[in-house]
Amino acid sequence: MSNKFSFKWCRTIDDISPDDWVKIYGSDIIKGRGFMKANEEAEFEDVEFHYLQVFKGNRIIAIVPCFAYGMDLLNIASSGEAKTRIAWVRKLFPKFLKLRAFVTGSYAATCEHFIEYTSDLSEEEKKEVAEIIGGEIKKKSREVKASFVFVKDVRERSINQVKDILTSDYKFFISFPTTAIPIISEVKYPASLRKKNRKRFRNFRERFEKEFYWETITDFGGETVRDFTHLYKAVLDKAKNKFEFLNEKFFDSVNKLLGDGAFLLVGKNKETDEIRVMVLILENEANLIPLYMGFKYKDDDSKVLYLNTIFNTVKEAEKRGKSYVDFGQMSYYPKTMSGALVENIYYGFWSSKPIVRWLINHGLDKIFTPPAVPEHVYLEPYADEAHRILTEKGFVLLN
């Protein structure tokens, strides 16, 4: 390796200047310094942050945010059969597949990877930088006593690039895919969808409007963030897959650090003003990102409320002149029936420990089994336009 490159690790994003962060990650709010800082300020239990910086001379050319924590692989398994078997094994071995991990990316969900470098490097320089990144991630994972390295949330569009940076002994598996609904400018949503899907929209929209209304909150500190955290935990408790465990400090920091880039859509009862659903949304120039939901469950109207969070977020994006809504993982059927198109997301694993390495090579393919993705629901005149909008934004679509 030449001596023109250097690197260093730090434990806080405060040691990385805002200008340097933007040089690597650009203006995308989900990869922004403020969002990552909110992760730190949350002081999540047992989460230890590390940041790798790579320099060419005095110029930063790569950043890789990472964190170490105790991870339960059951929480991210996509196979129902595997989850059942793991639960059975834990009756005898309670700590089975509960391991310390060294993870690349953000603790809070982003559906984005964070292994990035500047675009102006030569092919030879990229190889040298890849050697530094790949070697340092492995070395740091040993230092923090992690059982394995976990590469989070690599979209289909980036999988080859990430594989080129990392060494060939990483193994990648398809996790839950991500979803997005394009905004077709020539027609109002949901006019581009098939007849039965438009009828579904009208039915559930009318049922919502009889009892509920929407409110937008741009500053959601104080009592509002406490309400949201309480309802978010209700959703977390019901979730079959738990990718992370967030707290009030995190949501409060998102409110403070992201400013106008984050807001809440709140669904309330018309008669009582009782809050029934809250959705935390991040805003980029081109898209909205519904990030987390809080929900007050009741037996009779949960489906009405949930589907209308999808509908109203799309209408909000339409109103704000966005190109698409990036809905993230999970709940494929209601999202695709509402117009979502789907892109694969991969998880990568590596370990220096023989037993864990055997598990990665021979067992994780039983834990990660991709869900069935329904076909898209667009009318023929609009299907090509829907696909074009997302393809131009980088999506590699499954449906």
Does residue 128 have a pLDDT over 60?
yes
- Strands 324-329 and 178-182, by their bridges, are antiparallel
- pTM, entire model: 0.92
User: pLDDT (tens digit, 9 = 90+) per residue, 89-113?
Assistant: 888 887 777 889 999 999 998 999 9
**HSE, side-chain direction, 13 A CA sphere, residue 147:** 17
pLDDT > 70: what percent of the chain?
A: 99
User: pLDDT (tens digit, 9 = 90+) per residue, 178-193?
Assistant: 999 999 999 999 999 9
Residues 6+ apart with CB under 8 A from 362: none
Residue 112 corresponds to which tokens in the numbers above? Answer: 């984005």
CATH of domain 5-177+345-367: 3.40.630.30
Mean pLDDT of 328-336: 82
Place of tokens 């500047």: 118
The pLDDT value recorded for residue 2 is: 56
The rounded radius of gyration (Å) of the Cα atoms in the chain is 22
Query: Residue 193 gets which letter from DSSP?
Result: B
* CA 314/CA 329 separation, integer angstroms: 16
* CA 92/CA 394 separation, integer angstroms: 46
Residue 113 corresponds to which tokens in the numbers above? Answer: 């990877």
Does residue 388 have a pLDDT over 90?
yes
pLDDT band at 234 (very low <50, low <70, confident <90, very high): very high
* CA 382/CA 399 separation, integer angstroms: 14
Q: 3-class DSSP state for residue 286?
A: coil
**Class at the top of the CATH hierarchy for domain 179-343+373-392:** alpha beta
Contact 62, 129 (CB under 8 A): yes
φ/ψ of 193, rounded to 5, equals -90, 165
Mean pLDDT score of the chain = 92
Contact 372, 348 (CB under 8 A): no
φ/ψ of 280, rounded to 5, equals -85, 120
Q: What is the C-alpha end-to-end distance of the chain, expressed in Å?
A: 43
Mean pLDDT of 25-47: 95
Domain boundaries, the chain: 5-177+345-367, 179-343+373-392
What Å distances lie between residue 106 and 47, 99, 126, 153, 200, CA to CA? 11, 18, 23, 9, 36
Q: 3-class DSSP state for residue 79?
A: coil
Does residue 386 have a pLDDT over 70?
yes
User: pLDDT (tens digit, 9 = 90+) per residue, 52-89?
Assistant: 999 999 999 999 999 999 988 877 777 777 778 888 88
Mean pLDDT of 326-351: 91
* CA 364/CA 320 separation, integer angstroms: 42
* Identical fold, 5-177+345-367 and 179-343+373-392: yes
Give the bridge partners for 267, in sequence order: 214, 277
pLDDT band at 332 (very low <50, low <70, confident <90, very high): confident
